[in-house]
Structure 1
Amino acid sequence: MNTIVSIDVSSAERLEVVRSADRLAAIEADWMHLWHRTDGLIFQSHAWISAWWSTVADRDQRALRIGLVWNGDRLVAVVPLTIGKRKGLRFLEWAASSYTDYGDILVAPECSLSALQDVWAQICDAGGFDIAFLNHLLPGAAVRKIFTPDTSGGIRLRPNHREEVSYRVAGQWESGAAWFAEQSKKTRQNYRRGVKTLEEAGGIKFRLLAPDEPLQPVLDRLSALKRRWLAERKRESQLFEEGAPVLAALVEALARAGVLHIFVLECDGAMVAV
């Protein structure tokens, strides 16, 4: 059951916590409008989170806890959370956290800080979890404003600093060549050495998949390569299990958002990397 609470009649702000798939589907247009307006990352888009929720294998072990702030009939904030079970504990975490590089909230400039803090407090007060674990935050993540020392409600999270590898490429380069030219001499040498090694096995071609090329064979090849890599390291991932629908659903979300770019590396016409 979804919970809606009015918090300030004068400002017309009200809170809602989405708990059902039907309600998640119903707010798609409002959510996507806010996502575009706030220039959010794909991981906070409705398309990404709904694609994950509709295909995740253990949905019976999870529960939606998506906090919303409305100003009149306009959605001004989304706090996309779920509760999942691992090792006997219930975690309050980002929705689609396993497939999210950077977690955050969406918040419009006109949304009050008190409303954000109140929706966080409402989610916390409802309980149903043992640990709140919100990771993968960028330094400028909007969610950090909820967890300031003077936060009045909800659980106060303790910072957990650790180093993680990030493959995000951000900058003002006009081309790949311009980016490459700014890398260290050692990086450039290692790249050229790697290309030479690959060329010893056959003709090498690195290209962007054309828009009219079928996606499924590429995704099948990607999954097969990844399963081999995981098996060698005795690891598992639901994302790449044979026949699992989640990868295709997330790729479709990228395509719908207009941000899908698939690059392939071919050796004598055979796809060796995606």
Structure 2
Amino acid sequence: MSVIQRTTTGFTTKVIRDTDAFAALREEWIVLFGRCARATPFQSHAWLLSWWQVYGRPGALRVVTVRRDGQLVGAAPLYRTRRGGCAVLVPIGGALSDFADLLLDDACAPEAAEAMTTALLALRDWQVIDLHETRPRAMAGGVFATSWRGGARGIAASVCLELPSSPMDALVKELPAHTRKTVKRRVNQIAKLGVDVRPAPADESTRAVADLLRLHEAQWQGRGVNPEHLRPEFARHLSGALEGMVRAGEAAVLEYRIDGRHVVSNLVLIGPDLVGGYLFGALPELREKLDVTTLLIGSTLPFAHERGRPVMSMLRGAEPHKYRWRPAESQNLRLLFSRPRSPRAAVYVALVATKRRAVLYAKAKAPWVRQARDRVRALLSRRAKPSVPTQPGPPAEEKAP
């Protein structure tokens, strides 16, 4: 059931709990997305709806919409779950999304945020809103946080590395001399091989996803791959999302061929101010011929530049090999908004903060913990059975504080 509320400022709000009603918002959502300069591809309707159709649970949907004079000017794509005995609203897209946020029309963001806050507080079945990864410029941490009438806390989350978009030669010129020499040699190797790079057409998205995941699995064979990437649900989610995203200019699957042979696929997501490298796959033997990272940077960076996006994001993860490109660090925040006077919310937030401190301590003082995790992940990836369906539901990362 959806409940419509009318505010004194002329805004109306509605809580959508039905998948069909969420799907019906598509055209309006696309317009709103285009009016939110800070939105990311992970707030696109195609991405969110596909994730919900694959991983969502009946009765959990809580999409809050805000309208002014009938026009959609705000949307909070959330669903309800329980963590540690606490009822929590979390972003649709879950751990598969590198950025979480709310959509608020730039033309009336403060007023829309006030209406959204009122609608969320009127919902009585939650204690905490937990937005796991928000960018520094996110609406959730700006105008929405200002309007919030309860507890609010930000906790450091993932680091993302970013490069200013430019032609590849401009980036190479800015590198230190010893790195520049190595990169130039690798760029020349790629040029001599005559790598052909083309985006897959939107109507071939299902085929493109299958090829991408086949190459991704081959690339990580016997190593610590994310088990979720080998599951059929993940393939269904990407296939369901990408056709609409490619048509809307929100994504592209770049395919790389040498002498007609498909050797690499690279999924890039496109937002108003960035292009992000989300997932790639490469034939393992290709590494004997060229440097795959240089190939990806050398195509994704100009791809962003040609489309007028100021940033190429490497998305989550600060792996050492990424730093040779001299990227800037961007610190994501986990934002927690608590219902006023909620003891359970206070306990939940404290647990999240404690867990984060423990993770940071382990990274700094006990690296063997991460090594053990990687060994477990490698074992799980070898045991994964991509052809065997699993029960629908959010990935395991979504089930704990």
Common topology (TM > 0.5): yes
* 1:219 match: 209
* Mapped contact 1:67–1:120 kept (Cα < 8 A): no
Indicate which of 226, 237, 248 corresponds to 1:235: 226
Alpha-carbon distance in structure 2 between the residues aligned to 1:161 and 1:270: 43
Instruction: Give the match's secondary structure for 2:89.
Output: strand
Indicate which of 208, 213, 238 corresponds to 2:198: 208
Alpha-carbon distance in structure 1 between the residues aligned to 2:178 and 2:77: 41
Instruction: Give the match's secondary structure for 1:120.
Output: helix
Q: Between Structure 1 and Structure 2, which shows a larger proportion of helix residues?
A: 2
The Cα shift of 1:240 comes to 4.2
Choose between structure 1 and 2 for higher RCO, CA contacts under 8 A separated by at least 6 residues.
2
Instruction: Give the match's secondary structure for 2:108.
Output: coil
Indicate which of 136, 139, 144 corresponds to 1:139: 136
RMSD, aligned α-carbons: 3.4
Instruction: Give the match's secondary structure for 1:232.
Output: coil
- Correspondence 1:103 to 2:94: no
* Mapped contact 1:204–1:267 kept (Cα < 8 A): yes
Indicate which of 252, 260, 285 corresponds to 1:261: 252
Structure 1: state its 5+ residue gaps.
Answer: none
Indicate which of 5, 11, 14 corresponds to 2:12: 14
Task: Compare 33-42 and 71-80 and name the one that shifted more.
Answer: 33-42
Q: Between Structure 1 and Structure 2, which shows a larger proportion of strand residues?
A: 2
Instruction: Give the match's secondary structure for 2:20.
Output: helix
* 1:179 match: 171
The Cα shift of 1:194 comes to 5.0
Instruction: Give the match's secondary structure for 2:172.
Output: helix
Alpha-carbon distance in structure 1 between the residues aligned to 2:174 and 2:59: 45
CA displacement 1:112-168 (0-9 Å, x = unmatched): 6354234235325525456532132222212222223xx452x423110144234x5
The Cα shift of 1:232 comes to 1.9
* 2:51 match: 52
Instruction: Give the match's secondary structure for 1:140.
Output: coil
Cα 1:242–1:26, aligned 2, differ >3 Å: closer, same or farther? closer
Alpha-carbon distance in structure 2 between the residues aligned to 1:189 and 1:87: 53
* 1:7 partner letter: T
* 2:295 match: none
Alpha-carbon distance in structure 1 between the residues aligned to 2:164 and 2:193: 31
Q: Which structure 1 residue ranges, 4+ long, deviate > 6 Å from structure 2?
A: 86-89, 196-199
* 1:273 match: 264
Cα 1:198–1:170, aligned 2, differ >3 Å: closer, same or farther? closer
CA displacement 1:246-269 (0-9 Å, x = unmatched): 111121132121243332344554
Cα 1:192–1:62, aligned 2, differ >3 Å: closer, same or farther? farther
Cα 1:208–1:3, aligned 2, differ >3 Å: closer, same or farther? same
Alpha-carbon distance in structure 2 between the residues aligned to 1:188 and 1:236: 36
* 2:159 match: 164
The Cα shift of 1:5 comes to 0.8
Cα 1:182–1:36, aligned 2, differ >3 Å: closer, same or farther? same
Cα 1:36–1:234, aligned 2, differ >3 Å: closer, same or farther? closer
Cα 1:184–1:23, aligned 2, differ >3 Å: closer, same or farther? farther
Structure 2: state its 5+ residue gaps.
Answer: 266-401
- Correspondence 1:41 to 2:45: no
* Mapped contact 2:132–2:157 kept (Cα < 8 A): no
* Mapped contact 1:208–1:261 kept (Cα < 8 A): no
* Mapped contact 2:101–2:139 kept (Cα < 8 A): yes
